[in-house]
């Protein structure tokens, strides 16, 4: 198929213009605000059935009620593995193939160390929660025709430590830096896309990672200090949008493009930014690190995935 190009400022509606997603079922996390909400809205407009995941049924229902199209609200608290497993079981009970999973939700640069279930909260939420959700829905993905997984990573993955994933300090007890730990979690998202793609591509499922761009959404709600305060002011929001930043409709475009565009059929294990393939960090290409992370993740999640480990 002839390569299709879109500008880096293209909106989600522009990259899906004329697309008919009728009959497709799409799981999206973090749909109650920001680019997750816009992604849901646009893909529902294209005719897809959206399984809309948020931290509470109230938030999910409210978001679903505010858009046109077919939606099913679902609860998925990504920092609670029991909640993630319950979400996956709820989706499995629908007895329908899953055409696309967009792992959109996340938290960013928590100013103070927060630990839950033995892991720093950004790593637990951004990585482990999404890893478990996709892992448990593998059979539903395989049952679809040319299914896709989209992991929202970030250019912030380049802020990870020189080790990439500090397996000896995933609880932050030895040292903690807000942006470095955010980078570690986003690197984990990128490596997870690579690992899932390697395991699922022969079954017709591809997985890719995306950097949505610099968008001043609710993701920045936890950022502390002067930077956090500045990002919440109207002048800085406007400056970001004019310069390096994107609006929410623009920020949702790369996710929608990678999730749906026919030109990417069969394309997996890649990293995208600005509606085009991009080059990740050296660590983002490290297949040995990706496999090490996979093994660590399935071991950690053994109580939830049991004998399914592979």
Looking at the annotation, which residues are catalytic? 176
CB neighbours (10 Å) of residue 17?
11
Looking at residue 293, the DSSP 8-state letter turns out to be H
CA-nearest of 78, 28, 55 to 255 is 28
State how far the Cα of 150 lies from the Cα of 303, in Å rounded to an integer: 25
33 within 8 A of 105, measured Cβ to Cβ: no
Question: Within a 10 A sphere around the Cβ of 178, how many other Cβ atoms?
Answer: 21
> Rounded CA gap, 186 and 208, in Å?
13
How is 100-130 classified by DSSP, letter by letter? EEEE-------SS--EETTEEHHIIIIIIIH
Strand partners, 271: 209
Contact 181, 121 (CB under 8 A): no
The DSSP output letter for 153 is -
How far from 141 is each of 116, 134, 148, 197, 249, CA to CA, in Å? 30, 9, 8, 12, 27
């Amino acid at each position: 198929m002839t390569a299709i190009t879109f500008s880096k400022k293209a909106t989600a509606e522009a990259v899906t213009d004329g697309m008919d997603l009728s009959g497709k079922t799409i799981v999206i996390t973090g749909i109650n605000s920001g680019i997750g909400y816009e992604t849901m809205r646009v893909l529902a407009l294209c005719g897809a059935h959206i399984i809309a995941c948020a931290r509470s049924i109230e938030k999910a229902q409210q978001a679903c009620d505010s858009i046109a199209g077919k939606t099913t609200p679902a609860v998925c608290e990504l920092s609670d593995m029991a909640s993630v497993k319950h979400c996956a079981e709820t989706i499995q009970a629908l007895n329908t193939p899953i055409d696309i999973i967009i792992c959109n939700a996340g938290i960013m640069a928590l100013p103070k160390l927060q630990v839950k279930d033995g892991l720093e909260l950004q790593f637990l939420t951004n990585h482990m929660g999404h890893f478990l959700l996709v892992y448990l829905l593998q059979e539903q993905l395989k049952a679809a025709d040319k299914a896709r997984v989209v992991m929202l990573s970030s250019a912030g993955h380049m802020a990870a430590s020189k080790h990439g994933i500090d397996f000896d300090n995933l609880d932050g007890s030895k040292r903690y830096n807000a942006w470095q730990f955010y980078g570690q979690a986003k690197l984990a998202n990128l490596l997870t896309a690579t690992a899932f793609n390697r395991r699922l591509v022969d079954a017709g499922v591809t997985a890719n990672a995306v950097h949505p761009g610099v968008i001043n959404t609710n993701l920045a709600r936890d950022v502390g200090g002067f930077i956090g305060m500045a990002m919440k002011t109207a002048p800085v929001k406007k400056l970001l949008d004019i310069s390096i930043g994107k609006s929410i409709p623009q920020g949702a475009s790369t996710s929608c493009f990678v999730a749906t565009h026919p030109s990417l059929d069969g394309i997996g294990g890649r990293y995208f930014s600005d509606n085009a393939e991009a080059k990740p960090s050296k660590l983002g290409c490290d297949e040995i690190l990706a496999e090490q992370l996979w093994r660590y993740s399935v071991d950690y999640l053994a109580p939830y995935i049991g004998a399914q480990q592979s």
